[in-house]
Structure 1
């Protein structure tokens, strides 16, 4: 009998697969390698720090062979995560990605600026939604119910910890992602001058399924 896909907790052996998923979905939901040729950069900003700092809130979709083909990652407490990011994560990656001393001139340099400014994640309008998340699946595994399952797993984990609500920031141009979040009960959170992002939030108490 063919092994069935399943959602499970992240393991350190998933690091490479998680990074690959991040790279292949980081450009408005598509492959980011042409824009960000260093394949460690986007994972260093948007995936690896969560696996390192809060692995208990990292879950993957296993294709049945042990390979991760999707993930949901996040934090229960954004303000504490930002402190830990600066104190613990940045020193691990600053050698590869030094803090810029001039205005960014390339997309990669813009991402390195984001890496060195984790405080950007703390906005007063998001205070009632203390947790935040990132969720990504490889294209072949999208639109099959697995994203809903990953989100349900993450929301349950937050609810079990007594975390009342969660938020995320998505690129406004990614219409498919917005439709997905709308189906899962997320609503828009008004944030002044959000740039290219739309912020969405929801309670953790009501499951998505």
Structure 2
């Protein structure tokens, strides 16, 4: 379940921002992170109001990482402890997808019915991803088996906060033994592409929605 163009990666903006700290994920953060997921769910913009069920984005793009890979999740916090961003990851995309099929998707399928075939709503698109998730099988996956998602609220962008939370996750994934990591970025997000290239990511595959970028983790 690699990064998807419908839930794009956000990048740091310029300008001063309040001091933010990178912390480990705590179970009490879940609702706040689901909120961040929704408020950045429209290619980095606020998706609130686009879905009848505002939790669907979190179920598809965030919840499984918090449940199955909590040790690799990092949270960006304000001084009062409020979560304003996150980066989540898995060290093995193939294994993660298998575990999602075993324990993450079945309870959601039991609670959330599959949409009608002619339902083209935003909710229906996500429900189909729950009931029939895609599987990764690209030729570069063996070299870059890990993947990540990062999302920051606008007020958390700037001052290097995005880079710090991303670097913390890259270090954790490298320590878990992954030789490389990949992520998805929308083709319109030129700032994000430049940001990742500056960190050492390179394009692995072009898609109609954007591109998949990867980076070796050896030497971290």
**TM-score, length of structure 1 as denominator length:** 0.88
TM-fit CA distance, 1:163: 1.0
Q: 1:74·1:131 contact (CA, 8 Å) conserved in 2?
A: yes
TM-fit CA distance, 1:103: 5.0
1:85 is aligned to 2:100: yes
1:22 is aligned to 2:24: no
1:185 is aligned to 2:175: no
In the TM superposition, 1:86-105 aligns within 5 A as: 86-100=101-115, 102=117, 104-105=119-120
Pick one of 46, 50, 66 that aligns with 1:35: 50
- Give 3-state SS (helix, strand or coil) of 2:88's partner: strand
The number of aligned residues is: 203
Relative contact order, CA 8 A, sep 6+: which one is greater? Answer: 2
2:209 corresponds to which residue?
Answer: 196
TM-fit CA distance, 1:142: 0.8
- Give 3-state SS (helix, strand or coil) of 2:81's partner: coil
In the TM superposition, 1:105-144 aligns within 5 A as: 105-144=120-159
1:163 corresponds to which residue?
Answer: 178
**TM-score, length of structure 2 as denominator length:** 0.84
CA RMSD of aligned residues (A): 2.0
- CA offsets 1:22-75 (integer angstroms, 9 cap, x no match): 111111110112322421010000011100011011110111212111100010
The runs of 5 or more residues in structure 2 that have no matched partner are 1-17
- Residues 20, 186 of structure 1: CA spacing in aligned structure 2 closer, same or farther, 3 A cutoff? same
Q: 1:170·1:198 contact (CA, 8 Å) conserved in 2?
A: yes
Q: Could you tell me how far apart the structure 1 residues matched to 2:191 and 2:141 are?
A: 23
1:149 corresponds to which residue?
Answer: 164
Q: Could you tell me how far apart the structure 1 residues matched to 2:209 and 2:114 are?
A: 23
Q: 1:28·1:173 contact (CA, 8 Å) conserved in 2?
A: no
TM-fit CA distance, 1:104: 4.5
2:60 corresponds to which residue?
Answer: 45
Q: Could you tell me how far apart the structure 2 residues matched to 1:37 and 1:170 are?
A: 26
TM-fit CA distance, 1:93: 1.4
Q: Could you tell me how far apart the structure 1 residues matched to 2:198 and 2:70 are?
A: 27
